[in-house]
Amino acid sequence: MLKFSDIPRWADDARKHGVNTVMISGWNVGGHDNQYPNYTPDPKLGTWHELEEAIARCHELGVRVLFFANVQPVDVSTDLFRDELHRYRMTDAKGQMSVSGWGMGTLGARMGLTRPPIAGCDPGFPAYRKIIVDHMRRLAEVGADGIHFDKVFGHPALNFNPGPGLSPDQSWYTGVLRCMEETLESGQQVRPDFALSVESSWDRLLTYCDAWWQWHDMLDHIPAMKYTFPEFMATFAVVQPWDYNNVNNAIRYGYQVLVGPIRYSTSMADEQMQEISAYVAEVLRIRDELKETIFLGEFLDVLEVSVSPHPNLKYNTHRNARTGKRACVLVNQGMQSLETCVAFEGSGQQQLRIYRPLRAGDARRFTPQRESSCRTARNRSGGLTIAEACPIWQGPHPHRSVYNMRRTGPPGQRVRGEQVGLRR
């Protein structure tokens, strides 16, 4: 279990691997998913002053610090709920609460034996919303750069408690929007760059949030939100040493990487994480060079490019909004090398610049190379290749390049990136 005094060392491990934002979870009284909404430091971990000092040290390292919190989840076993918060509870049409829980951190809690009972309070109640906003402002006052609001989904979505004075289908949603607005306003009064991330699928929150947890822990999915809203920044989670597919898919879709080393229990420098941490650092280095195209650009899904198909090959295309330059991110999700042919539509005869992350043990950093028609390029790590179109001359045919993509890690890999999260 880390204490607040350990946060700078943990954050520095992330910084050394290209990750410049960390998220602190389980920092509040009782630990993760416990005693909500009592968002005050657990005395077992340290004091407000020690937390403030740890954040300041992270800032000196160039690392931003977010904190894990929630909007509606409350622990119904607390005196605070019995004395006050029960008035703000969300109920069904028969006046009943829905009580559940998640049980992070211990086997007993995972089995449901010791996990705290969690229900929902409606942020449509101004008094309840003020509790949340005041706690988040206090975090901003000690240096927090932002808040991650977890579990921002209805609990239940319809609230029949008449207290807020809104219809059941409007009460919780209206309260969430006001909570986001008031938290941002309050936090930015202290820190002008104060920001929010969220666990939700509600597109209305794009107005307020810069990162999204949606748990795309799969080899493929339909990126409808990203195609519709290019500013949508979901995350892929890297929580185990073999989660290479999630690292690659985060780059493929233009998403963010959320690293939770060994199920949120250690740092990126842990012996078990060293190889994939080095890979994350290399991938983020390449992405930073191409960020205006593959991260902040227009997501084209699979349009404007032709790729020779293979069962293990996935790809997506991006376009730089300023220059119009396109890039295709290809991922080999199989165990064997494969060859494919890439052709950008309407590009004429041109060269492509090829980017591939290095494998552990490579002696030098990779220098992007240009390849002419039908030259073979070998993917040497993690199954990821990025082909960037570099217009040089016009001709009657689109440029084509053939790639031999080799897989180095086991199948079914996944990743969490750009942020590092720790739960105790």
E strands, 248-297, are: 256-259
Q: List beta partners, residue 149.
A: 69, 198
User: Per-residue confidence at 348, pLDDT binned at 50, 70, 90?
Assistant: low
Model pTM? 0.86
Encode pLDDT of 151-171 as tens digits. 998 667 899 999 999 999 999
Domain that holds residue 336: 297-405
- 379 in a structural domain: yes
Per-residue confidence (pLDDT) for residue 349, from 0 to 100:
59
d(CA 193, CA 190): 9
pLDDT score, position 346: 83
For residues 57 and 184, membership in a common domain is answered with: yes
pLDDT digits (tens, 9 = 90+) for 380-412: 445 889 999 865 333 333 333 444 444 434 333
Give domain status of residue 165, yes or no: yes
Q: Is 94 part of a structural domain of the chain?
A: no
For residues 131 and 74, what is the distance between their CA atoms, to the nearest angstrom? Answer: 12
The confidence score (pLDDT) of residue 155 equals 62
pLDDT tens-place string over residues 192-230: 999 999 999 899 999 999 999 988 878 899 999 999 999
User: Are 302 and 399 members of one domain?
Assistant: yes
- Residue 309 and residue 208 share a domain: no
Rounded to a whole number, what is the distance in angstroms from the first to the last CA of the chain?
6
Question: 177 and 305: one domain?
Answer: no
Q: 132 near 120, Cβ under 8 Å?
A: no
Rounded to an integer, what distance in angstroms lies between the CA atom of residue 346 and that of residue 389?
11
Kindly list the strands in the beta sheet with 64-70, ordered across the sheet, starting from the edge strand earlier in the chain.
211-213, 195-199, 146-150, 64-70, 21-24, 419-422, 256-259, 235-238
User: Which of helix, strand or coil describes residue 283?
Assistant: helix
Shared-domain flag, residues 178 and 54: yes
Whichever domain contains 377, its CATH number is 2.60.40
Residue 40 and residue 149 share a domain: yes
In a domain, 59, yes or no: yes
pLDDT at 23: 97
Where are the strands (E) in 208-294, listed by range? 211-213, 235-238, 256-259
Q: CATH number of the domain that 155 lies in?
A: 3.20.20.70
Q: Is the same domain home to 58 and 156? A: yes
Which residue matches tokens 């107005």? 207
pLDDT averaged over every residue in the chain:
86
Each residue's pLDDT tens digit, 41-95: 999 999 999 999 999 999 999 999 999 999 999 999 999 999 999 999 999 999 9
Q: Check residues 324 and 394 and name the one with the higher pLDDT.
A: 324
pLDDT tens per residue, range 244-283 = 999 999 999 999 999 999 989 899 999 999 999 999 999 9
- Asked if residue 185 belongs to a domain, the reply is yes
Question: What's residue 286's pLDDT?
Answer: 96
Give Cβ neighbours of residue 162 (< 8 Å, ≥ 6 apart). Answer: none
| The Cα angle at residue 272 between residues 268 and 277, in degrees rounded to 5 | 35
Q: Where are the alpha helices (DSSP H) in 158-273?
A: 171-190, 224-228, 244-253, 261-264
pLDDT at 79: 97
Q: How many CA atoms lie within 13 A of 277 on its CB side?
A: 21
Last residue of a domain, one of 179, 213, 247: 213
| Band of pLDDT at residue 422, cut at 50, 70 and 90 | very low
Q: pLDDT tens-digit profile of 193-202?
A: 999 999 998 9
Domain count, the chain: 2
**Predicted local confidence at residue 363, as pLDDT:** 40
- Does residue 350 fall inside a structural domain? yes
Please tell me whether residues 208 and 303 are part of one structural domain. Answer: no
Do the domain assignments include residue 317? Answer: yes
Give domain status of residue 178, yes or no. yes
Indicate if 188 and 317 belong to the same structural domain. no
The DSSP secondary-structure symbol of 65 reads: E
Q: Are residues 16 and 137 in the same domain?
A: yes
Peptide bond between residue 162 and the one before it cis (omega within 30 degrees of 0):
no
Indicate the DSSP class of residue 116. P
Continuous segment of H or E residues that includes residue 5: none
What proportion of the chain, given as a percentage, has pLDDT over 70? 84
Give the position of tokens 């890979």. Answer: 279
Rounded mean pLDDT, 327-340: 90
